[in-house]
Structure 1
Amino acid sequence: MTETLSSENGRTVLRMRRELRHPVEKVWRAISEPKHLAGWFPAAVELDLRVDGPVTFTFEGEPGAPVDLRSHGVIRAYEPPSVLEYTWGVEVLRWELTPTADGCTLHLTATYDDRSGSASFAGGWTLCFDALERLLGDTAPERDYRVLHEHFVKVFGLDEAQVAADGELRFERQLVQPKEAVWERLAGAQTATVGTPPPAGFVAKGIEPGPVTAVEEPLRLVYPWSGGEVTWTLRDGNGGARLVLTQTGPAADYRTPWHDAIEFLAAELAG
């Protein structure tokens, strides 16, 4: 795989490419015309192919169901048949085609703010590229999104903690199942209630927790430890729950135990 992740001008930049055995002109139609985009792009797209032309992205539910989400963008670069760049909300997608001896190379540069969601984006675009290859007439492997997601988490280092100068820890981890399923894994058979010890799944090795001080299933759980406070939060993310765990106080020594606990949880959720 050829994916890279970087930070540029305060934003996250994901770069991906795919070698295709088709001429630039054919692939250009596939990435710029709505009737072809419908076969591989993650949303229905309407676009006015000119600089400053509007773009509309629509996600639909089950057949016959009302539209769930619609967002908009604008074309920022249009140089057929080699460059197409547009915004999608606050995200910027730049598509470039370069000819090769066997066809062409498709380059995608995605610029956005949600670094912690990068494994979801890379995994999703990988599946889209596979669908594009099938649309063009080639074969592509059937891949499991969950496996791709966890691969990119490791490749991009998205499983690592942020450690503040005072030793406070913060993990932000995208998971592949909804928050209700994550909470069920963490709590096990125990019901988390204020004034009782937290379920074992919410505690890292070596920590002696105090009783739960706040709980809102399946969104939030808080308890004290000798040096500060541990807070778990879960919210909807891209493709599953977004977990944010913080441990205040001089918590740097617990970086590895928390990492291991979260990655064990993620592996269980990924099946």
Structure 2
Amino acid sequence: MADVALVPADDGNWTLIFIRELRQPPETVWTALTDPAELDQWSPFQPADDLSKTGDTTLTMIDGDIREDLPATVRRAEPPSLLEYTWGGDLLRWELEPSGTGTRLTLRHTLTTPGMEAMVAAGWHICADVLQHLLDGTPVGVIRGQDAKLHGFDELKVKYQNELQRYAS
């Protein structure tokens, strides 16, 4: 499991903090977070543009044959340490810190829809697993939408619900 936490956000919403240690240096991870071709191999969306450039773009959610375009704005892009963008109403902030020969990846995902925290954590967990395979040179193919249920999504969601429950009180 990744390290997770749930904290109040400044806007009254909640921020899910998801931390994963990756074996590659920040520069390599940065490319995987920003390059459309690499994002298409591990993330839950296809970006219309390179996310290393600030400005408006579109992130297309994909679930089988269903596609949903969501507006996004890259607000900060400071290679190879900080990437921040909106995704629909949510805000994602990716922080990359050197950790030994690898990277400590911290995602702060501020959610505008309450009650989605465990689902979002489980989704990012699967995405991070796929990302690590991609970075290791052993890609397993993108896992999105309903396909995630074939890769332990429901079990992960329950584990994260239990983990995040302590923040609800």
TM-score (norm: length of structure 1): 0.53
Larger proportion of helix:
2
Residue matched to 1:147: 155
Residues 44 and 151 (structure 1), Cα distance of their counterparts in 2 relative to 1, 3 Å cut: same
Partner deviation per Cα, 1:198-225 (whole Å, 9 max, x = no partner): xxxxxxxxxxxxxxxxxxxxxxxxxxxx
SS in 2 for 1:156: helix
Structure 2: 5+ residue runs without aligned partners?
Answer: 140-149
SS in 2 for 1:121: helix
Partner deviation per Cα, 1:153-212 (whole Å, 9 max, x = no partner): 111128x7x9xxxxxxxxxxxxxxxxxxxxxxxxxxxxxxxxxxxxxxxxxxxxxxxxxx
SS in 2 for 1:39: coil
Whole-angstrom distance in 2 between the partners of 1:60 and 1:75: 20
1:2 aligns with 2:3: yes
AA in 1 matched with 2:3: T
What RMSD over aligned residues (CA atoms) do the two structures have, in Å? 2.3
Residues 56 and 156 (structure 1), Cα distance of their counterparts in 2 relative to 1, 3 Å cut: same
Rg larger for = 1
Q: Which has the higher contact order (CA 8 A, sep 6+)?
A: 2
Matches within 5 A, 1:11-22: 11-22=13-24
Whole-angstrom distance in 2 between the partners of 1:138 and 1:15: 27
Whole-angstrom distance in 1 between the partners of 2:121 and 2:69: 22
Residue matched to 1:114: 113
After TM superposition, the runs of 4+ consecutive aligned structure 1 residues lying more than 4 A away are none
Percent identity of the aligned residues? 34
TM-score (norm: length of structure 2): 0.83
Q: CA deviation at 1:58?
A: 1.1
Residue matched to 2:143: none
Whole-angstrom distance in 2 between the partners of 1:110 and 1:81: 19
Q: CA deviation at 1:146?
A: 0.8
Count the aligned residue pairs.
155
Matches within 5 A, 1:26-45: 26-45=28-47
AA in 2 matched with 1:104: T
